[in-house]
Structure 1
Amino acid sequence: MTQPPTVLITAGASGIGHVMASAFEAAGHAVWIVDRDETALNACPETWRREQVDVADLDQMAALFHRIRADWGRLDTLCANAGIAGKTALLEDQTLEDFRTCVGVNLEGAFLACKGALPLMKEAGHGAIVFTSSTAGLYGFPYRSPYAAAKWAVNGLMKTVAMEAGPHGIRANVIAPGSVEGPRMAGVIAREAAAKGTTPEAIAAGYAAGVSMKTFVTAQDVAAMAVFLASPGAARVSGQIIAVDGHTVNPDP
């Protein structure tokens, strides 16, 4: 019996990662998710491999990939999706701890995921790595300097991975979502409204006004792109930053 393609999704227990996992399973993949939220993990489908892992912890990530090698023996796709919003404040009001915490999850988590996945992919002679970045990594993001810095860095990491791993048949790409509907974005909007002394409704309207399609995107939009980038249809797509954002025309409306 042919083994189905395999995918590891970081931060897969909720939000975009959870929708990605569902989409990959629907496309016929064996799914392995990791997350820090044990409660959310326990609520996920039993057909998914589920583990509580801190993606910014070297030892935990090394142990994870040891288990993947032992149980699956291969990894076809990595979705380096884990990320946190970080503190919403002017740069001078951010602490070094705020900055390091945000970069630790968004950038170091992606680095450690690639560090574990690449040896497996190189042995197989193929693989796809899909990073979740943000349009904040294309335009900057007022009041979110740690987050924007981390996402710009993720883009650079992807470009380098694509160059290093391309000769081994491995592709790497970034999805840069715009404003994604859901609880996380609602929290970001609420914090930004408080920082700017305005209302969440005004902030949300500004975000929507700043894109050509005048709307937020959905987690399903992002997941569909991830599945495509992992598919044979994207066999020659690598080193790209693909915005799934409704076309941002004014990042700070």
Structure 2
Amino acid sequence: MTLPGITGQRIIVTAGASGIGLSIARQLKAQGARLAICDVDEAALDRAKAELDAELAIPADVSDEAQMQTFFRQTADTLGGLDALVNNAGIAGPTGGVEEIDPADWRRCLDICLTGQFLCAHFGVPLLKSSGGGAIVNMSSSAGRFGYAFRTPYSSAKWGVIGLTQSLAKELGPDNIRVNAILPGIIEGPRMENVIADRAAQKGVSHEDMKAEYISRISLRRMTPPDDVADIVAFLISDAGRNLSGQSFPVDGNLETLG
């Protein structure tokens, strides 16, 4: 389905070389967007650039202020401006009891999952204002609406993304900039499999049993494909979502609880 208003839009997708980010970039490219992507995985970035024919694809860490400043400057130079920003980059963070988690791992998780989104907004909003408005989509998580035992850094960061989203929606609305959050649930792919493996090891159960326990918490009894998240992101960026702002959208098959 072709969505109105995406063709020709200049869009940044952070961590756009694999996983949910690549699915988002593919969907936006199929809708006719012009893309700038960044990622820390240079090999994946090279493959994604070739597949997407992205106009800009550079290695960059969203938690690094200097790298983000350079990325947004290069985006402005290459694309001639910015119409939408997808704050997708994130990491799973450590799994463990609060007394076991290394404070350095806590800081790293918040730096990437929360501060990285702030930095992208910091450098991206002036470009959006210069374009007369636009859209920001922040990637939160179902962990941003449930407490998530043994994954406190990740859950804390994703709750923070909700606050960032609602605050920016109020601040930037008068500038015609819409800001929304997506809350993916249990997403198919290697990252979730690693999370399940870590939790299985901690509980002393098999990977298969742990995965079945996760799926049992979903009303639809299935994991969510990354493409389902990409579809909602594209809708929010498009003109079809022109009156949606300050909202948080779960894409999780009605996840009932987290462990």
1:42, CA displacement in angstroms? 1.2
Q: How does 1:52-67 map to 2 (within 5 A)?
A: 52-67=59-74
Q: Hey, what does 1:27 align to over in structure 2?
A: 31
In 2: Cα distance, 1:173 partner to 1:162 partner:
7
**Cα distance, 1:71 vs. partner?**
2.0
Which position in structure 1 is the counterpart of 2:146?
Answer: 139
Residue 187 (structure 2) aligned to one of 180, 184, 196: 180
Match of 2:172 among 157, 165, 172: 165
- Structure 2 residue aligned with 1:194: 201
Q: TM-score, normalised by structure 1?
A: 0.97
Deviations 1:39-84 (A, max 9, x none): 1111114311210011100111111111122222211110000000
Structure 1 letter corresponding to 2:22: H
> Which residue does 2:215 correspond to in 1?
208
Q: 1:241 maps to which residue? A: 248
- Indicate whether 1:117 and 2:120 are aligned: no
Aligned to 2:37, the other structure's residue is in SS state: strand
Q: Which runs of 5+ in 1 are unaligned?
A: none
1:212 deviation in Å?
A: 1.1
1:230 equivalenced with 2:237 (yes/no): yes
- In structure 2, the gaps of 5 or more residues are 1-6
For residue 243 of structure 1, give the secondary structure of its aligned residue in structure 2. Answer: strand
Partner Cα separation in structure 2 for residue 127 and residue 121 of structure 1: 6
Query: Distance in 1 between the 2:138 and 2:78 partners?
Result: 24
Of 26, 34, 38, the match for 2:42: 38
- In angstroms, what is the RMSD of aligned CA positions? 1.0
Q: Quick one: distance in 1 between partners of 2:62 and 2:90?
A: 9
The amino acid across from 2:12 in the alignment is: L
Q: Residue 124 of structure 1: CA displacement? A: 1.7
- In 1, are the aligned partners of 2:146 and 2:257 still within 8 Å (CA)? no
Aligned residue pair count: 250
Q: Match for residue 151 of structure 1? A: 158
Aligned 8 A contact 2:140 2:184 in 1 = yes
Q: Distance in 2 between matches of 1:106 and 1:146?
A: 9
Q: Once superposed, which parts of structure 1, at least 4 consecutive aligned residues long, lie more than 4 Å away? A: none
Residue 5 in 1 paired to residue 9 in 2? yes
Q: Residues 45, 59 of structure 1: CA spacing in aligned structure 2 closer, same or farther, 3 A cutoff?
A: closer
Report the CA distance between 1:223 and its aligned residue.
0.4
TM-score, scaled relative to structure 2: 0.94
Which of residues 57, 71, 85 in structure 2 aligns to 1:50?
Answer: 57
CA distance in 1, matches of 2:254, 2:116: 28
Percent identity reads: 41
- Work out the CA distance in 1 between the residues paired with 2:42 and 2:175: 36
SS of 2:48's equivalent? coil
Mapped partners of 1:196, 1:90: distance in 2: 12
